[in-house]
């Protein structure tokens, strides 16, 4: 019944193909209600050392579904965010193919964030995993508010992806504003000297420059560009406040 309702929701929000994300959300709910451990990953380990674009997209959709359900409800705006992002990035034809493939893969298998992240850890660079978190926060914010449950779930995923605490907090600060937001993005404290601010900016600009991502996946490339802009804006804001 849950899968049927979710499929109806997916059809309303996505209009194509076969209520894929509605189905995956229903599958995720069912998995939460099923007993205990031994969850199977939706992808079995393979011998190749780098993830293919197709596998990456499917893994990405799986993590999207987990974040969408983190606060216990299905947000139309979050679903639309994923749908529109894939449409803008890949075009309608390829997006349809991605969603159809996901629908087939997920039917009889469970989604395990830990196993998916373990798979990605061995096949993607650290910079790519940072941009993946940026994208997941974008989904959470799509309905206008990043809930505590969504933050906790993304933090859990970040742990599985072996992303450091400072990097996680930097990305989080781009979506959840606070008084010292610009400093958090640059991973420094408000007591940092002007020289330390400049050094932090140079470090972050180098660290998050889109060229360092080195991936064929357009979603992650766009995420890198967005994050790089946030680093620049944070530095400019501190410059303005300090008059430097």
Confidence (pLDDT) at 97:
86
Res. 16: pLDDT tops 60: no
pLDDT in tens, 151-203: 999 999 999 999 999 999 999 998 988 778 899 888 888 899 999 999 999 88
Confidence (pLDDT) at 40:
34
pLDDT, mean of residues 98-127 = 82
pLDDT, mean of residues 86-90 = 83
232 occurs within a structural domain: no
150 occurs within a structural domain: yes
**Domain extent at residue 101:** 2-36+49-178
Confidence (pLDDT) at 222:
73
Intra-chain end-to-end CA distance of the chain, in Å: 60
222 occurs within a structural domain: no
**Which DSSP state fits 64?**
H
Q: Give dist(CA 40, CA 116) in Å, integer.
A: 10
Strongest mean pLDDT among 41-50, 67-76, 118-127, 155-164: 155-164
**Which DSSP state fits 237?**
H
Confidence (pLDDT) at 114:
95
- How much is the mean pLDDT over the chain? 76
Count of the separate structural domains present in the chain: 1
Confidence (pLDDT) at 218:
67
223 occurs within a structural domain: no
192 occurs within a structural domain: no
Res. 140: pLDDT tops 90: yes
Percent of the chain with pLDDT over 70: 74
In this structure, of 45-49, 113-117, 118-122, 164-168, the range with the lowest mean pLDDT score is 45-49
C-alpha dihedral, 191 to 166 to 217 to 76, nearest 10°:
-90
28 occurs within a structural domain: yes
Percent of the chain with pLDDT over 90: 25
**Which DSSP state fits 66?**
H
Q: Which has more pLDDT, 161 or 111? A: 161
Q: Is this prediction's pTM over 0.75?
A: no
25 occurs within a structural domain: yes
18 occurs within a structural domain: yes
Confidence (pLDDT) at 116:
93
């Amino acid at each position: 019944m849950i899968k049927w309702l979710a499929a109806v929701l997916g059809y309303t929000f996505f209009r194509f193909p076969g209520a894929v994300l509605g189905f995956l959300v229903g599958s995720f709910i069912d998995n939460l209600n099923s007993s205990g451990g031994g969850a199977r990953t939706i992808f079995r380990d393979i011998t190749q050392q780098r993830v293919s674009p197709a596998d990456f997209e499917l893994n990405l959709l799986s993590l999207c579904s987990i974040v969408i359900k983190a606060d216990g409800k299905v947000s139309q705006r979050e679903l639309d965010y994923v749908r529109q992002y894939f449409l803008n990035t890949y075009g309608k034809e390829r997006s349809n193919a991605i969603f159809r493939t996901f629908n087939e893969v997920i039917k009889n298998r469970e989604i395990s964030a830990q196993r998916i992240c373990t798979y990605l850890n061995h096949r993607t660079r650290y910079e790519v995993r940072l941009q993946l978190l940026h994208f997941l926060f974008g989904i959470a914010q799509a309905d206008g508010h990043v809930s505590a449950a969504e933050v906790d779930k993304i933090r859990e995923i970040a742990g599985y992806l072996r992303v450091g605490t400072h990097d996680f907090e930097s990305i989080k600060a781009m979506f959840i504003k606070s008084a010292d937001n610009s400093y958090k993005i640059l991973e420094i404290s408000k007591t940092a000297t002007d020289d330390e601010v400049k050094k932090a900016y140079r470090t972050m600009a180098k660290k998050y420059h889109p060229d360092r991502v080195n991936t064929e996946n357009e979603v992650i490339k766009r995420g890198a560009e967005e994050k790089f802009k946030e680093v620049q804006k944070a530095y400019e804001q501190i410059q303005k406040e300090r008059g430097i």
